[in-house]
Amino acid sequence: MKDCKCRIVVDAMGGDYAPLNVVLGAVAAVEENADIDVILIGQKDEIMKVLKENNKSFKEENIVNASEIIDMKDTPTSAIKEKRDSSISIGTKLVREGKAEAFVSAGNSGAVMAAATLIMGRLKGVSRPTIGATMPTEKGSVCTVYDVGASVDSKPNHLMEYALLGSIYSKEMLNISNPTVGLLSVGEEDSKGNELTFATSKLLKEAPINFYGNVEGRDIMKGTTDIVVCDGFVGNIVLKLAESFLGFLKTKIRNYADKGILNKLKALIVKYTLKDALSDIDYQSYGGVPLLGVNGICIIGHGSSSVLAIKNMIFKAKEMCDKELIHKFNQALEEYGKSK
Amino acid sequence: MKDCKCRIVVDAMGGDYAPLNVVLGAVAAVEENADIDVILIGQKDEIMKVLKENNKSFKEENIVNASEIIDMKDTPTSAIKEKRDSSISIGTKLVREGKAEAFVSAGNSGAVMAAATLIMGRLKGVSRPTIGATMPTEKGSVCTVYDVGASVDSKPNHLMEYALLGSIYSKEMLNISNPTVGLLSVGEEDSKGNELTFATSKLLKEAPINFYGNVEGRDIMKGTTDIVVCDGFVGNIVLKLAESFLGFLKTKIRNYADKGILNKLKALIVKYTLKDALSDIDYQSYGGVPLLGVNGICIIGHGSSSVLAIKNMIFKAKEMCDKELIHKFNQALEEYGKSK
């Protein structure tokens, strides 16, 4: 692990509770780890106001002003082009110019992806950056699904890139020594699938990854493989369906509780027991997800990110930086490019 | 409702527990409803043996011999071509020749779909038959997802056909007066989606259905719409992922129970409470799913179908027959064809 000075630009204006949660999250990160060099970017007076109101201090030379705000209603690509003085545009530019190693934002995720791709640029050998979602499994391990919505209508070589980048990420960041990669399909057999999986399967068999073969929808939460690759359209639906399951369960238990005092009591036991039994599904502590394939570290957080989530996003960026992920991605992409 | 004589051909050799469960299911159906005319098709001596061993009687003239068996290892299309004396081939042929109205099987579902499509034939105006999966929702209603695997690489007109047939099915069989149809995508807005959804959305807006617009993965179990249409590849993954949730939950609760006697007690309460709270998710009682778009009624059951599931499949075929579903499909397809 390199003992580098990692400069992390944090988008103070991004998220439903910005700048409050972001500023407090950044302060907490620096308080916990003095080695982290955080640059807060956004409307400086707003940032100063939050610090003052909450009795917190932050190095003033590390606060960079950005007059414009890209909000949730903005169309990603045009916002990047038009709002050049936004925290997202300036933040990604700092990474591009080598003035920082990472950009962290809980803002308009489409705009962050667009800015990272257009301003920071793609790694050589990457056609489309990707976002993975880490899902809990029966085994207690996690299964990371790529892509979950960075793009749609993915082509075979895109899925190959997801597998390559995802394998390095799982190895370095999730400590899985030789991560298995499954290709999401409608049957385990090679003969089951669609045009995309047939063509992708051939590429994955020859790629320098630990390819398992086809997996099905049920294999994700079973934990059959460490990584699952699929078209971003499919992955996005998979992620949102999986996330809705707990809500479904809660509603069913609430309806059950409404049917009498004994039911209410049983429902209460169920609620607390499930909270315990499913404690490894703690979305908040995960913080954010990295956008892989861009030329720099980029962590995208949920709009509703808490102070803890922001802090964790900063720590994740720091870890990716210390572990030289970008360098390792570049090495793997170069080797793969030569082998073709 | 027409008071028709509905002749239902039941594949005695289909399913993991065939012919036992199938024969007993058929006997149970006839015992419960004398109006149902069931034709058992399969190896006659095997069928007679089950009847004798279980002390059951069945009209012998309604047992049709089929010497060959298509099993789970057979490749669907070639099995249909090669095993012409199989229960699946002869059964679908009886429907084609007008000697029966419905075919019911818990056998190799690929082979049943192939036989129904090739031998019974498609309805005029249908390019691809489809299978829907009925999913439970927070609201207590059901959401039927088409297609869940009858085909992959669906085209916009296929999704349109799924919506048209599915709407009639929901209205007639699930008593939903004006079923809403959602198009599965990666965002609610019209601008979110992939090539398939953009083109399909245009067709659905002009089709004689109650089109809601785009829905996301989370909307299925929320019950946002009564019907959701998508490519069969996506639908199959959605179905298998959703089915795996309960298994995931059970494993998590079992692991929790293993951690001590108090945990075991709480887990037991959770188990019984969830069984009650989720009682509307009773896959077995649903029995089978219809293959829509073929020229006759075809119900496909799970390989592990119980006696009750087989009986319910027969009742579903009878209901579809009584409600003249095929006639109503034809009417709607004809009207839609004229309107284009």
Q: Kindly write down the DSSP assignment for every residue of B164-181, as one continuous string.
A: HHHHHHHHHHS--SS-EE
Say if residue B19 is preceded by a cis peptide, omega within 30 of 0: yes
At residue A7, does pLDDT exceed 80? Answer: yes
Give the pLDDT score at B282.
59
Listed residue (B263, B260, B242) closest to A274, CA to CA? B263
Q: What are phi and psi of B14, to 5 degrees?
A: -95, 130
- Min Cα–Cα distance to chain A from B164, Å: 23
A292 to chain B, closest Cα gap in Å: 20
- pLDDT at B201 > cutoff 60: yes
Mean pLDDT of B268-289: 78
The predicted pLDDT at position B2 comes to: 46
Percent of chain B at pLDDT exceeding 90? 81
Q: Which of A136, A230, A248 sits opposite B138 (nearest CB)?
A: A248
Residues B249, B199 contacting (CB under 8 angstroms) = no
Q: How does strand B297-301 pair with strand B288-292? A: antiparallel
Give contacts of B249 with chain A, Cβ < 8 Å: 249
User: Which tens digits make up the pLDDT trace of A226-247?
Assistant: 999 999 999 999 999 999 998 8
Query: Are B164 and B332 a contacting pair, CB within 8 Å?
Result: yes
Asked if B100 and B297 touch (Cβ cutoff 8 Å), the reply is no
Residue in B221, B253, B269 closest to A248 by CB: B221
When pLDDT is averaged across residues A66-83 and rounded to a whole number, the result is: 88
Which chain A residue has its CA at the smallest distance from B262's CA?
A273
Distance of CA A203 to the CA centre of its chain: 25
Question: Which residue does chain A place closest to B110, by CA atoms?
Answer: A192
| pLDDT band for position A39 (cuts 50, 70, 90) | very high
Burial of B295 (0-12, 13-18, 19+ CB in 10 A): buried
| pLDDT tens profile A156-212 | 999 999 999 999 999 999 999 999 999 999 999 988 999 999 999 999 999 999 999
Report the pLDDT averaged over residues A108-137: 95
**Residue B154 pLDDT class (50, 70, 90 cuts):** very high
Residue of chain B minimizing CA distance to A215: B237
Chain B residue with the nearest C-alpha to that of A246: B245
Chain A residues touching B140 at Cβ < 8 A: 255
Asked whether the beta carbons of residue A233 and residue B194 sit closer than 8 angstroms, the reply is yes
Q: Which of the residue ranges A10-14, B75-79, B84-88, B152-156 would you say has the lowest mean pLDDT?
A: B75-79
How far is C-alpha B185 from the geometric centre of its chain's CA atoms?
23
Q: Stretch B169-194: mean pLDDT, rounded?
A: 96
Match 């249909």 to its residue by tokens: B80
On the question of pLDDT at A2 being above 50, the answer is no
Measure the CA–CA gap between B255 and A275, rounded to whole angstroms.
13
Per-residue pLDDT at B6 exceeds 90: no
Confidence (pLDDT) at B77? 85
Whole-Å CA distances, B237 to A329, B1, B232, B244: 30, 36, 9, 11
Q: Which residue of B has its CA nearest to A251?
A: B138
Confidence of residue B279 (pLDDT cuts 50, 70, 90): confident
Gap between the Cα atoms of A272 and A150, Å rounded: 35
Alpha helices in chain B (DSSP H): 20-32, 44-53, 76-82, 87-96, 109-115, 156-173, 195-206, 219-222, 232-257, 261-277, 283-286, 307-322, 325-339
* Structure confidence at residue A283 (pLDDT): 52
* Residue A72: per-residue pLDDT: 84
**Residue labelled with tokens 């169309």:** A75
Confidence at residue B147, expressed as pLDDT on a 0 to 100 scale? 96
Q: Give the highest mean pLDDT range of A38-42, B188-192, B334-338.
A: A38-42
pLDDT score at B133: 92
Question: Which residues is A300 bridged to in the sheet?
Answer: A105, A289
Subunit contact A278:B242, Cβ cutoff 8 A: no
How many residues in chain A? 340
CB contact under 8 A, A152 and B236: no
Is it the case that residue A102 has pLDDT exceeding 80? yes
How far apart (Å, rounded) are the C-alpha atoms in residues B172 and A294? 52
Q: How far apart are the first and last CA of chain A?
A: 30
- The CA distances from residue A65 to A15, A27, A77, B118, in Å, are 17, 17, 22, 68
CA distances from B40 to A225, B7, B56, B105, B143 (A): 43, 11, 14, 11, 33
Please tell me the least confidently modeled range out of A48-52, A175-179, A265-269: A265-269
User: Model pTM?
Assistant: 0.93
At A323, which amino acid appears? K
Provide the β-strand partners of residue B288: B301
State whether ipTM is beyond 0.90.
yes
Q: Please answer yes or no on whether A237 and B269 come within 8 Å at the CB atom.
A: no
B4 has pLDDT over 70: no
Mean pLDDT of chain B: 93
Q: Say yes or no to pLDDT of B1 above 50.
A: no
The DSSP element (H or E) to which A131 belongs, if any, is strand A130-136
pLDDT category of residue A4 using cuts at 50, 70 and 90: low
Taking residues B293-298, report their average pLDDT. Answer: 98
Distance of alpha carbon A208 from alpha carbon B292, whole angstroms: 44
- Cβ-Cβ contacts under 8 Å, B189 against chain A: none
Chain B residue with minimum CA distance to A233:
B186
Interhelix angle A20-32/A44-53, rounded to 10 degrees, is: 70
What does the pLDDT read at residue B283?
Answer: 53
3-state secondary structure of A75: coil
Binning pLDDT at 50, 70 and 90, where does residue A276 land? confident
Residue A339: per-residue pLDDT: 85
Report chain B residues whose CB lies below 8 A from the CB of A220.
Answer: 241, 244
Could you give the CA distance from residue B199 to residue B204 in angstroms, rounded to a whole number?
A: 9
Average pLDDT of A292-320? 95
Asked if A276 and B269 come within 8 Å (Cβ–Cβ), the reply is: no
| Tokens describing residue B274 | 């969830």
Rounded CA separation A281/A123 (Å): 32
Which domains occur in chain B, in start order?
1-126+293-324 (3.40.718.10), 129-248+275-284 (3.40.718.10), 249-274 (no CATH)
Q: Which of B149, B217, B240 sits opposite A239 (nearest CB)?
A: B217
Burial label for A55, CB within 10 Å (0-12, 13-18, 19+), is exposed
Q: Can you tell me the distance from the alpha carbon of A179 to that of A174, in angstroms, rounded to the nearest whole number? A: 10
| pLDDT class of A155 with cuts at 50, 70, 90 | very high
Average pLDDT over residues B131-142: 92
Is the bond leading into A290 cis (omega within 30 degrees of zero)?
A: no
Mutate to test the interface with B, among A148, A194, A224 (most CBs of B within 10 A): A194
Yes or no, beta carbons of B152 and A269 under 8 Å apart: no
- The one-letter code for the residue type at B233 is F
Predicted local distance difference test score (pLDDT) of residue A278 = 85
Cβ–Cβ below 8 Å for B269 and A270:
yes
In the predicted structure, residue B3 carries a pLDDT above the cut 80: no
| Interatomic CA distance for residues A109 and A118, integer angstroms | 14
Q: What pLDDT is attached to residue A211?
A: 98
* CB nearest to A236's CB, from B186, B245, B256: B186
Other Cβ atoms within 10 Å of A71 Cβ, number: 14
